[in-house]
Amino acid sequence: MVYVPERVWIDRGRYLEAESNFFSGQTYSTGDVKSNASQEALIQRIASLEVENQELKKTIDDIVKRVASLEVKCSTCTPPVTDKCSAAAKPTPKKAPAPADDDDDDLDLFGDDDAPKKPVVAPVKVEKKKKAEVIAKSSVVLEIKPWDDETNMQEMEKCVRSIEKDGLLWGSSKLVPVAYNVKKLQIVCVVEDDKVGIEELSEEIEAFEDYVQSVDVAAFNKI
């Protein structure tokens, strides 16, 4: 009888476990562990960058708001306070009337004695019909800007309309939004060109320093 040595598979359990893990998709290696760790670190970095981006955006929005607020304050610096509606209307110098034409000519009623005398005929005065004078007028739209949004626009309009001149007639008005709750006053006036100057009128309006920052001409039309 021949003795045949029995073969023993000592590592059979490890091979079976490895085979089971392979077919079930649960096999892992050192490279896989490193790859997962790098992916988790990348995800954490992206999340951190998103948080920093949001904080940076908030900071930029805050800076923009502060700059806008400073621009409004710089453009609406209040001048020294004076008496309200203290500007007196400047009288417009009137033109001297043109001298009337002398229609009567000197007549030599006594001629030379030696010259033959002619009967003197009294001149007949003919009344000249005066042509109707055409008065040049203009329709003007003024834009009056206040200092800031706290300016009393009703009081400002009262001061503007308190200016009275010969040849000046105030018309309708309205408030037009500008920016940052600031509104400007648009007011219509009709002026006689020979009596009222727009530049002089603008200077009188700007004299109300408590309310008026500037005056601009938005429209100018001859009538």
Domain boundaries, the chain: 28-75, 137-222
Cα–Cα distance measured from residue 54 to residue 219, given in angstroms and rounded to the nearest whole number = 49
Q: Are strands 182-192 and 137-146 parallel, antiparallel or unpaired?
A: antiparallel
Closest CA to 163 of 203, 122, 118, 213: 203
| Residues 166-200 pLDDT 10s | 999 999 999 999 988 899 999 999 999 999 999 99
Q: What is the 3-state secondary structure (H, E, C) of 62-96?
A: HHHHHHHHHHHHHHCCCCCCCCCCCCCCCCCCCCC
Q: Which of 10-14, 64-68, 125-129 has the least mean pLDDT? A: 125-129
Amino acid identity of residue 208, one-letter, is F
Topology of the domain comprising 137-222: Alpha-Beta Plaits (3.30.70)
What's the pLDDT score for residue 118? 60
Cα–Cα distance measured from residue 154 to residue 157, given in angstroms and rounded to the nearest whole number = 5
Whole-model pTM over 0.85: no
